[in-house]
Amino acid sequence: MKTPHSLLSTSVLVALLAHPAVSPAKPIPVEDLFGESAATAFSLSPDGTYFALIGRDPKGKRSLYARSLETDDTQAWTIDGGGNSVASYAWISNERLAYRVSRHDYYFQGLYSVERDKKTIHRLDFGAVNLIEDPLIDRESLLVLRRRGDGEIRPYHSELVEINSTTGLPIETVWTFKGTPLGIEIDLNGQVRLLKTYYKNEHFFMYRVDSEDPWTRLDLPEDVNILGFGPSGKVVLVSDYFGRDRSALYRYDITRQEPGDPIYEDPVYDLHTSAAKILDAERKVPLGFRYQADHEKTIWFSKEIKQIQEILNEHNPDTINRIVSANLSAGRFLVLCYSDRQPSIYRLLDYGQRRITDLWPTRPQIDPEKMSPVESFEFVSRDALPLHGYLTRPVTGKAPFPTVVVVHGGPWARDTWGFDPEVQFLASRGYAVLQVNYRGSSGFGRRISLELKADLKGMNDDIEDAVRWAIAEGHTDEDRVGIMGGSFGGYAALYGVAFKPELYKCAIGNVGVYDWPMHISEKKGSFSDYAFDFYRKLWGEDYREKLEALSPYFHVDQIVAPVFIAYGRDDRRVKPVQSKRMIAALKKHGVEHEVFSKSWEGHGFFDDEVQFKYYRKIEAFLKKNL
């Protein structure tokens, strides 16, 4: 098996692997679609002489790698412990990296640091819960957030601490505060200037003029998206509504506590939740920002970087070309190229040498010409909301197609345009795929994304309206519609067959919420107590009565279509009891159903072999019932 360890240790940068073309008459193997890429998360060192990545070691475990662009020397750090793997990392300086280890991709297991050209690993055991923040510029130290207390005998409080990146010992406690830490912002000089926290059913911001000044309450909307400080240190780039229907990008003066005029806005889409600032690898210069419209868009602040983007687009005209890491002084740019049919490819642009080189194709076995195009569409809901979605049709066959509605989770998230293995899996099996950005989905304006975010019935109605649009347009066979999704999408799938049995012929729910009142009540007094307060604020004190009427568990007697339930028995986000009780209710009412579960998986399936088995089961279930 080719791994980053074996491939990156060679002197050749181009790493395209030769694989046989996929026959159009044969479905794409699940291994080709769902096998995790051997390398991902590339980034340049601050001086642009190295790059790092998360890659598979010879045993298949996700590990950290660093490689010199001058000598091709590569160092790898492998994590011991079953199920543990590198989840994320950051460059502390040119010589040192820090990385987080997790289980199931989000259960924190440890914080470590390494020197880029040495094998020694330093474990930074500091407190019970560590969250690595942006490293402090030009200093061999780290910032971590740790939470203390148990919520009852010892009230929760948090500490923001600067620690030694080799020993893990504290250097300075930046601030101690009550509540749950939600994020910090560091200015371009490396000083912590702004914090967001949650305490007693309230989100609030604190800021200071400089590192010697006291912390002061900052009057910002609780859901504002902070992109970071500008060069002056007196202005924060934010995206928010500020009384408008569409969120825009603003310069917010933190001393006067007011926004200026919008400096960028999209005529259709919000910048609110998806806008992200792009920094130079040395973390000293803000280069631009990107956000999600119907396709990903990038807005550059400087003419020079805009010209670099134009060069990339000319060289790769059929893909979105995202600069993921840039060093202006070295003239090196790491680029992620992708499309709806092309899985991501990492490329390196060396502007000084006028050369673009392929570093790593994430799925070289996939032939883009055999993939199905993903088309955006618009429709109008029954209550006159303009909504958006994506339709993917098989490359062979004739409409109307049997259709699978794939519902995104959240629900306060959204579907985006790009290569989606699950969508291509379904399309290659002959199904059209319908993805709907229903009300409450992020990025579509105050009216749709915020004011209707509690409207669960409306969300499900929107999904139904999109299906009926696809039927009316001739894309979908009205007698062969299935629905599937994970988390909130799993809820929507079971809601569909419970409340619209005439429309959906089968449902697949993965780690779904089937009893909303139980799900909300479980958050009370737990580590996620702020989630309980959020839900209670969203649906009111009488949430139980309201949400029982919309929860599939209480209406299982209306389900007649076959159901597939999948869950991980180590899921801490949506407790496994949700799926277990739903399965018991299906059995009690004689509803045909199948179950897929694994004891070591959490909120979703992450192990390759588990994913392969899961999708083979899905394929057989859909073939039988759709």
Are 17 and 2 in contact by the 8 Å Cβ rule? The answer is yes
Rounded-to-10 torsion of CA 468, 437, 409, 244: -140
Instruction: Quote the pLDDT of residue 108.
Output: 63
Structure tokens at 322: 């995202």
Residue from 194, 224, 189 nearest 209 by CA: 194
Q: What gap in Å lies between CA 436 and CA 414, rounded to an integer?
A: 8
Q: What gap in Å lies between CA 135 and CA 191, rounded to an integer?
A: 10
3-state SS class at 296 = strand
Q: What gap in Å lies between CA 256 and CA 454, rounded to an integer?
A: 34
- Report the run of H or E that residue 239 belongs to, with start and end: strand 235-240
Instruction: Quote the pLDDT of residue 131.
Output: 60
Q: One-letter amino acid identity for 43?
A: S
Q: How far is CA 13 from CA 140, 214, 395, in A?
A: 30, 50, 34
Q: What gap in Å lies between CA 487 and CA 482, rounded to an integer?
A: 17
Are 2 and 365 in contact by the 8 Å Cβ rule? The answer is no
pLDDT tens digits for 94-137?
899 998 887 655 566 788 999 988 999 998 876 554 566 666 66
Quick check: 25 pLDDT over 50? no
Q: What gap in Å lies between CA 617 and CA 621, rounded to an integer?
A: 6
Instruction: Quote the pLDDT of residue 585.
Output: 97
Residue from 512, 503, 504, 496 nearest 555 by CA: 496
Instruction: Quote the pLDDT of residue 17.
Output: 26
Q: What gap in Å lies between CA 363 and CA 38, rounded to an integer?
A: 9
Q: How far is CA 198 from CA 133, 143, 145, in A?
A: 18, 19, 14
Quick check: 324 pLDDT over 60? yes
- 566 or 234, which is more confident: 566
Which positions ≥6 away from 307 have C-beta within 8 Å? none
For residue 329, name the pLDDT band (cuts at 50, 70, 90). Answer: confident
Phi/psi at 436 (5° precision): -120, 125
Q: What secondary structure letter does DSSP report for 136?
A: P
Instruction: Quote the pLDDT of residue 100.
Output: 86
3-state SS class at 441 = coil
Respond yes or no on whether the N-terminal peptide bond of residue 135 is cis (omega within 30° of 0).
Answer: no
Quick check: 210 pLDDT over 50? yes
Instruction: Quote the pLDDT of residue 412.
Output: 93
Instruction: Quote the pLDDT of residue 126.
Output: 62
pLDDT tens digits for 411-435?
999 999 999 999 999 999 999 999 9
Residue from 462, 457, 561, 552 nearest 513 by CA: 552
Quick check: 564 pLDDT over 50? yes
Residue from 25, 30, 97 nearest 64 by CA: 97
pLDDT tens digits for 553-563?
999 999 999 99
Instruction: Quote the pLDDT of residue 439.
Output: 97
Q: What secondary structure letter does DSSP report for 228?
A: E
Are 141 and 124 in contact by the 8 Å Cβ rule? The answer is no
For residue 232, name the pLDDT band (cuts at 50, 70, 90). Answer: confident
Instruction: Quote the pLDDT of residue 243.
Output: 87
Residue from 277, 179, 260 nearest 222 by CA: 179
Instruction: Quote the pLDDT of residue 24.
Output: 38
355-393 CB burial, b ≥16 within 10 A, e <16: ebeebbbbbbbbbeebbbebebbebebeeebebbbbbbb
Q: Which of 65-79, 519-533, 534-548 has the lowest mean pLDDT?
A: 519-533
Instruction: Quote the pLDDT of residue 149.
Output: 58
Percent of the chain with pLDDT over 90: 53
Enumerate the domain spans of the chain: 372-515+551-625, 517-550
pLDDT tens digits for 36-46?
788 889 999 98
Instruction: Quote the pLDDT of residue 106.
Output: 54
Quick check: 14 pLDDT over 90? no
Are 11 and 69 in contact by the 8 Å Cβ rule? The answer is no
Assigned CATH topology for domain 372-515+551-625: Rossmann fold (3.40.50)
Quick check: 528 pLDDT over 60? no
Instruction: Quote the pLDDT of residue 2.
Output: 42
Distance of CA 327 to the CA centre of its chain: 25
Are 309 and 484 in contact by the 8 Å Cβ rule? The answer is no
Q: What gap in Å lies between CA 592 and CA 577, rounded to an integer?
A: 20
Three-state secondary structure readout of 318-350: CCEEEEEEEECCCCEEEEEEECCCCCCEEEEEE
Instruction: Quote the pLDDT of residue 135.
Output: 67
pLDDT tens digits for 57-79?
877 788 999 999 988 899 999 87
Quick check: 335 pLDDT over 60? yes
Q: What gap in Å lies between CA 225 and CA 238, rounded to an integer?
A: 6
Which positions ≥6 away from 294 have C-beta within 8 Å? 268, 269, 376, 388, 417
Quick check: 616 pLDDT over 60? yes
3-state SS class at 183 = strand
The crossing angle, in degrees rounded to 10, of helices 421-428 and 608-625 is 40
For residue 219, name the pLDDT band (cuts at 50, 70, 90). Answer: confident
pLDDT tens digits for 440-494?
999 999 999 999 999 999 999 999 999 999 999 999 999 999 999 999 999 999 9
Alpha helices, DSSP H only, in 529-588? 529-539, 543-548, 577-588
3-state SS class at 393 = coil
Task: Work out the angle at residue 380's Cα, subtended by the Cα atoms of residues 377 and 381, and round it to the nearest 5 degrees.
Answer: 125
Q: One-letter amino acid identity for 121?
A: I
- Report the run of H or E that residue 7 belongs to, with start and end: helix 4-7
Burial of 99 (C-beta count, 10 Å sphere; 0-12/13-18/19+) = buried
Q: Quick count: other Cβ atoms within 10 Å of Cβ 284?
A: 16
Instruction: Quote the pLDDT of residue 12.
Output: 28
Which positions ≥6 away from 110 have C-beta within 8 Å? 84, 100, 101, 123, 124, 125
Structure tokens at 344: 């991501």
Quick check: 253 pLDDT over 80? yes
Residue from 157, 202, 150 nearest 180 by CA: 157
How confident is the model over 11-18, as a mean pLDDT? Answer: 29
Q: What gap in Å lies between CA 102 and CA 608, rounded to an integer?
A: 17
